[in-house]
Amino acid sequence: MTDQTIIAIVAMAGAALTMALGAMGAAIGESRIGAAAMDALARQPDEASSITRTLFVSLAMVESTAIFCLVIALILLFANPFTGTPGG
Amino acid sequence: MDLRIFGDPVLFDMGPVPVTETMVTSTAVTVALTGMAAFLGHTVRSRPQHWLSVVAYLVVESFDNLVEEIVGRRHTIVATLAGSLFLFIAGCNIAGQLPGVHPATGSLATTSALAVVVFLRVPIAGIRTNGVWGYVKHYFRPNPLLMPLHVLSELSRTLALAVRLFGNIMSGHLIVALLVALAGFLVPTPIMALDLLIGFLQAYIFAILSTVYIGAAISAGEE
């Protein structure tokens, strides 16, 4: 097994692990946000517009951790600095 | 298969400056938005009762209300910035739905430039409202030991702003490209509709977050 093969295997495993763990954390966080927003909507239907706006903003901010994981996984796969093929 | 993640192909050279596809797309969006704004401004001045004028009033009014809710008072300059950011990002994301066009916001260079604009606008707004000392003082609150953390949070939120927009738009485009390659026609349509929604949502979030950051700088001296 050459060095390049080992690097490729480790990069793929690392990308898969990054995506799995990152998506898991973001999914748990987003489900909690959704549940809390539904609870707030049921208690105060008059505040629906304000709650919805805050809901979307917080969902996007939690989602961005999963997006960071995606970007890192894609860097590992397509623009890995150690494989000698820059730029993907 | 058109899988492009970090690269940006150079179309032609203009003197010493290489012109990339992203530059062409974002310039086209800018020209289209400026033309639309000039046309709407002309319509508002010449025919205030026309339905196009009403649409223009509604758009401007909604940005003004958004900024008023977040900053606490009407602030025309911040509303202009938030509206420009929203319209430009939404325009780029919609342009990415056209066949053969890569969205300009799907390039890390564009989103970093937008984030740097917000990063520079925050201290300018704070200093204009509170004076230099009034703004700098909030870095040393509640304790001067926390000053590095304040600076770090400003840098990291700028990075987050850039990478969030880039990652969302680029990944949406990538998923559509993969589906087109795997399944062909009609299967990617629902994902493209989702992409359209995500494009608007991310533009809205970018505008809201930049308004929140600038609003925090404006109210930094009022403690």
Residue length, chain A? 88
Residue A82, chain B, CB below 8 Å: the answer is no
- CA-to-CA distance for B140 and B3, rounded, in angstroms? 47
Residue contact B6–A78, C-beta within 8 A:
yes
Give the pLDDT confidence of A5-24 residue by residue, as tens digits.
888 899 999 999 999 999 99
Q: How many CA atoms lie within 13 A of B175 on its CB side?
A: 15
Of the candidates A56, A57, A70, the beta carbon closest to that of B167 is on A70
What is the number of other CB atoms lying within 10 angstroms of the CB of residue B173?
Answer: 24
Helix (H, G, I), strand (E, B) or coil at B10: strand
The arithmetic mean of pLDDT across residues A49-69, rounded, is 87
Give the pLDDT confidence of B22-41 residue by residue, as tens digits.
888 999 999 999 999 999 99
Give the pLDDT confidence of B112-133 residue by residue, as tens digits.
999 999 999 999 998 988 888 8
pLDDT for position B87: 94
Question: The whole model's pTM is what?
Answer: 0.86
Q: Which two tokens stand for residue B150?
A: 């304040």
Residue contact B6–A56, C-beta within 8 A:
no
pLDDT for position A74: 87
Q: Check whether B79 has a pLDDT greater than 50.
A: yes
**Domain span including residue B43:** 4-222
B17 bridge partner residues: B14
Helix (H, G, I), strand (E, B) or coil at B100: coil
Give helix B51-71 / helix B21-46 axis angle, nearest 10°: 110
**A chain contacts of residue B163, beta-carbon cutoff 8 Å:** 64, 67-68, 71
Buried b / exposed e over B191-219, threshold 16 CB at 10 Å, is ebeebeebbebbbbbbbbbbbebbbebbb
DSSP per-residue codes, A50-72: HHHHHHHHHHHHHHHHHHHHHHH
Of the candidates A53, A60, A68, the beta carbon closest to that of B163 is on A68
ipTM: 0.78
Residue contact A57–B209, C-beta within 8 A:
yes
Residue contact B160–A60, C-beta within 8 A:
no
Task: Give the closest-approach CA distance of B129 to chain A in angstroms.
Answer: 26
pLDDT for position A64: 86
Task: Give the closest-approach CA distance of B153 to chain A in angstroms.
Answer: 15
pLDDT for position A88: 41
| Tally of structural domains, chain B | 1
